[in-house]
Structure 1
Amino acid sequence: MISDIPGALRVELASPSIAVQRLQLRWRGHLERTRLLLGDAWERGYGDLEWRGFVPDRVMPWYVAAWDGHLTHLYGVRTSASAFCFWHVDPQGISLWADVRSGGVGVQLGQRVLSVCEVVCRAGRAGESAFAAIHAFCTNMCSSPRLPPQPVYGSNDWYWVYGRNSAATVLADAQHTVELAPADANRPFAVIDDGWQPDRGTDKAGVGTWDRGNEKFPDLPGLAGEIRRAGARPGIWIRPLLAPADAADTWRLPRERTVLDPTVPEVRAKIGEDIGRLRRWGFELIKHDYSTFDLVGRWGFQMGADLTRDGWTFATGPTRTTAEVIDELYRTIRAAAGDTLIIGCNTVSHLSAGRFEICRIGDDTSGREWPRTRKMGVNTLAFRGAQHGAFYTADADCVGVTNAIPWEYNRQWLDLLARSGTMLFVSLAPDALGAAQRRDLRAALATAARPQPLGEPLDWQQTAWPTRWRLMGEVQTYDWLGTDGAAPGL
């Protein structure tokens, strides 16, 4: 069923007796003048986003921008859809596909009418850049973003300890961050990433347990207080769908028994309690991770049009779409977190908008390999940065300040993030903090602590790693490759 509503086309599905997998809506027209097309990503970008010509079976999740050399026309669905929606575009028309499956089988609605999605479009306007058009369209797709009250910046310990952290390293990290941050009312965050939970033993008996720290983190509430007294705001990481060893069989996802099934009420209660406990311990930011991979068994770049393997559904049956299940999980996390800031990592971006303040928009950068930071970080910021402030605060991931990555490259990534207006987190290996690093970090953190205009890539229709950017009213050029160019590998 299709109906007009103010500013959109509402798509609903009624199918009392037939299981439905996908819907296709097709608009026929003459699109031969279109030169380049750009879509979004299911959850994070993986260094694979780019403007391209017609590829009729190219999966473009959520929205698509069509540039004809002068104007940028946009087609999409509003956030909080009840289906995984993607677009196909060819010279003869545009197709919207809505995946309404429950896991890998058709949804069985019974007498329920499913509100599938709301389709919106925006005609290009003379004189606006493609980036400005996409940013404006993102504000149309999300009417009620949940945004932090001030810029988010600080540190995350992952890219220098990679899980080998402790209360002592965390406190040192917080102290370094505070030393380098401006003395503003907007204090930096110091986030404890993976490594604090009791799952590091040889038997892994503590996997999925979040009610205490391991032997290196004997007092997490106390540590949160120490971080705060050092002058930073404490944050922490969690993987909420990991099943503990003692989880009942009925709690486990049929597709993967090491994962909790969020359609089970007791599982949602556990997740709510785990998130609420972190809040009660005094953490002001919670980063929840892995939920899309845990649910569908694929990373975003592997999902394509299939999303997941065929033939499985959730423990409570195929009566709700995967998108509905994920939305309920996100609402559970949001309610338990209260006013605590939430970073969704490996979360579905179009379902995160309006639920979480911050979204990790790209795959991991690195404290070990510069090519990974260049691929995942620069590409992500360029091609998804337009979502910042419209869907959520965009997090293109960290600057891993270590001796493994030449500072001539890392300082450019640091500068771009700080001046882009998006979120800046750094990982600070103490032995890599020389005079040049400290100077550049102080300048970058001072910039990131205050609101800045949204940075815009200027050559993004010619390259996957834009080098020319408009930042804070000036044009800046970066060198991501050096004299030797890219090397085989990542």
Structure 2
Amino acid sequence: MSLSPGFDVVHEVAVSDGAEVFEHGWQSFSPTTTYALGARPHRPTSERNRMLNYRQSSHPGPDGYFGEGVLAVSDGAGSVHVVAAEDPFTTGVRLQAVVSGSVVVVGADGPVAVRVVPGSSVQEALRSWAVSAVAAAGLPAARPAPTAWCSWYEYWGGVRREDIVENLSAMRSLELPVDVVQIDDGYSAEIGDWLTPSATFADLRGLVEQIRGEGRRAGIWLAPFFAGARSRLAAEHPDWLLRHPHGGALHAGNNWNQDLYSLDLSHPGAAEWMHTVFSTFASWGIDYFKIDFIAAGAIPGVRASGADPVTAYRDGLRLIRSAVGPSAHILGCGAPVLPSVGLVDSIRVSADTGHTFAPDDGDMCSPSQEAALLSARGRQFMNGVFFANDPDCLIVGPKVENRDAWAAHVEAVGGAVVSSDRLAGLDDWGLETTRRLLTR
């Protein structure tokens, strides 16, 4: 097997029994793990999954290994070879590893640096590389994440104002140490129309004031690089949407039973609008922002500025930060992981979790505890170095399969802890576990 066109040989590793290869996925939901040499890697099971959960310009096959920004080979003799982009945070270098007899050949489509770490596990070697990369970039230390409660896993998109108020009351009566009450998807009229409330959130600002009046911080969910096909945003400003090279708006996937478009935040009008959205929420007192599906900001397409996808994505995050201020907490989800370093405070390091263990479609990017466990463990080396790792929400209600194992995983990650059960519906074990993990 040979390297793909456009990839040049950058390193070769002589391997023996016990050799392993670490693949790093492009964004939060992309599978990330270490494989025994010869094991077949996880790949998308459908084109929809690939569009929403993998890098759209990458098409790794089932044979060989593929890393976005970084790849590592444990040679079986005690050393780990970490091959990473020279500038892993501002470029989108891709890597391949193919087996040729007793040698693993590593290729890349851009400049890389090789770090050989003897006497180390893969995770230890990757953490050593991460510490060095942060120091080389002159980035500040990662900030810890506040504890939070999120509406998503109990109420999904059908959440109502009354649901938030009920859980706010339960936090008080149960004396739970929740810093942030985060309203998830369901409060806005459409994907992209963030300042237009849904029918169940007529007074969103008043709800934010009520949360803050309880002495807690207010948080909110947005997918800032998306405009749904049903949104006023897409209908009224088609010139703000990312374009195909040959013209026409560029689809960024399909979800919420509609086509999705990527918003080109390099367009002055789109940039002004998005700054207004975030600064408006910040002026209400919201200082925790879960920004989701943000890989849509880094897909290939024609942008008003002419910027490449990674630069445009990072510029978009800087725009958001300028609107919310330096002290607000930004959680990136569905995020290109390495290009987000230094620009978000915490990041989802896996697929969504779920009330069941296995993914329905067998895809290790799809919502499930199994997929979430896989990539969070693969990215554990990042926690406290690049950002606070978010393993996804703590869900421990009676209807959750393997809830004790899932709680143990969230605790072991040691990063963000975000409860997402209906608090009044927890049994004794679920309540005690939630209280324990929220208490630091």
TM-score normalised by L of structure 2: 0.78
- Larger mean Cα displacement after TM superposition, 426-435 or 50-59: 50-59
Q: Name which of 69, 91, 94 aligns with 1:85.
A: 94
Identical amino acids, percent of aligned pairs = 19
Correspondence 1:56-75 to 2 at 5 A: 57-69=64-76, 70-75=78-83
User: Which ranges of structure 2 fall in alignment gaps of 5 or more residues?
Assistant: 41-62, 228-232, 244-249, 252-259, 360-367
Counterpart of 1:440 (choices 429, 433, 436) is: 433
Q: Note the alpha carbon deviations across 1:413-437, whole angstroms, 9 max, x for none.
A: 1133124311111211246311121
**For residue 343 of structure 1, what is the aligned residue in structure 2?**
331
Residue 360 of structure 1 corresponds to which residue in structure 2?
348
Q: Matched residue of 1:171: which SS?
A: helix
**Counterpart-to-counterpart distance in 2, 1:180 and 1:414:** 19
Residue by residue over 1:178-205, the C-alpha shift from the partner in whole angstroms, topping out at 9 and shown as x without a partner, is 555665xxx5222110001123xxxxxx
Distance in 2 of aligned mates of 1:76 and 1:283: 37
Task: Please state if 1:376 is matched with 2:388.
Answer: no
Counterpart position of 2:293? 290
1:194-245: CA deviation from partner (whole Å, max 9, x where unpaired)? 001123xxxxxxx421224223222223222221232432110011123314
Question: CA contact under 8 A between 1:175 and 1:230: conserved in structure 2?
Answer: no
Structure 1 counterpart of 2:151, which letter?
A: D
Aligned-partner residue type, residue 424 of structure 1: V
Structure-2 separation of matches of 1:181 and 1:418:
20
Q: CA deviation at 1:346?
A: 1.0
Within the alignment, does 1:96 sit opposite 2:108 as a pair?
yes
Letter of the structure 2 residue corresponding to residue 385 of structure 1: Q
Instruction: Report the Cα offset of residue 177 of structure 1.
Output: 4.0
Maintained 8 Å contact 1:263/1:325:
yes
Work out whether 1:241 is the aligned partner of 2:250. no
1:45/1:211 CA distance change after superposition, 3 Å: closer
Give secondary structure in 2 for the equivalent of 1:208: coil
Counterpart code for 1:270: W
Which residue pairs with 2:282 in the alignment?
Answer: 279
The alpha-carbon distance between structure 1 residues 351 and 179, as it changes in their structure 2 partners (threshold 3 A), is farther
Shift of 1:145: 4.6
- The 3-state SS of whatever aligns with 1:371 is coil
Q: How far apart, in 2, do the equivalents of 1:67 and 1:358 lie?
A: 28
Residues of 1 paired with 2:172 and 2:113: CA distance? 44
Deviations 1:304-336 (A, max 9, x none): xxxx7xxxx31438x432212212212212222
Kindly name which structure, 1 or 2, has the bigger radius of gyration based on alpha carbons: 1
Judge conservation of contact 1:173–1:428 (CA < 8 Å) in 2: no
Report matched runs for 1:38-437 at 5 Å: 38-46=22-30, 49-53=33-37, 57-69=64-76, 70-77=78-85, 78-90=87-99, 91=103, 93-98=105-110, 119-126=112-119, 128-143=120-135, 144-145=138-139, 149-177=143-171, 188-199=179-190, 207-243=191-227, 244-254=233-243, 255-256=250-251, 258-293=261-296, 296=299, 313-316=301-304, 319-338=306-325, 339-366=327-354, 368-372=355-359, 373-406=368-401, 409-430=402-423, 432-437=425-430
Equivalent in the alignment of 2:51: none
Secondary structure (helix, strand or coil) at the match of 2:10 reads strand
**Cα deviation digits, residues 423-468 of structure 1 (max 9, x gap):** 111211246311121122222221xx3xxxxxxxxxxxxxxxxxxx
Counterpart residue type for residue 203 of structure 2: D
- Sort the Cα spacing of 1:181 and 1:23 in 2 relative to 1 into closer, same or farther, 3 A: farther
User: For residues 125 and 400 of structure 2, what CA distance do their matches in structure 1 show?
Assistant: 35
Distance between the aligned counterparts of 1:384 and 1:179, measured in 2?
Answer: 36
Segments of 4+ moved more than 6 angstroms: none
Amino acid at match of 1:51: Y
In the alignment, the residues of structure 1 paired with residue 174 and residue 24 of structure 2 have an alpha-carbon distance, to the nearest angstrom, of 35
Q: For residues 84 and 336 of structure 1, do their structure 2 counterparts lie closer, same or farther at Cα, with a shift above 3 Å needed? A: farther
1:62–1:87 Cα contact (<8 Å) kept:
no
Change (3 A) 1:89 1:174: farther
Please tell me the residue identity of whatever aligns with 1:438: L
Aligned residues: 378
Contact persistence 1:147–1:393 (CA under 8 A)? no
Secondary structure of the equivalent of 1:50? strand
List gaps (5 residues or longer) in structure 1. 1-21, 99-116, 200-206, 297-307, 450-490
* Distance in 1, Cα, partners of 2:309 & 2:413: 34
Residue identity opposite 1:345 in structure 2: C
SS in 1 for 2:81: strand
TM-score, normalised to structure 1, is: 0.70
Letter in 1 for 2:431: R
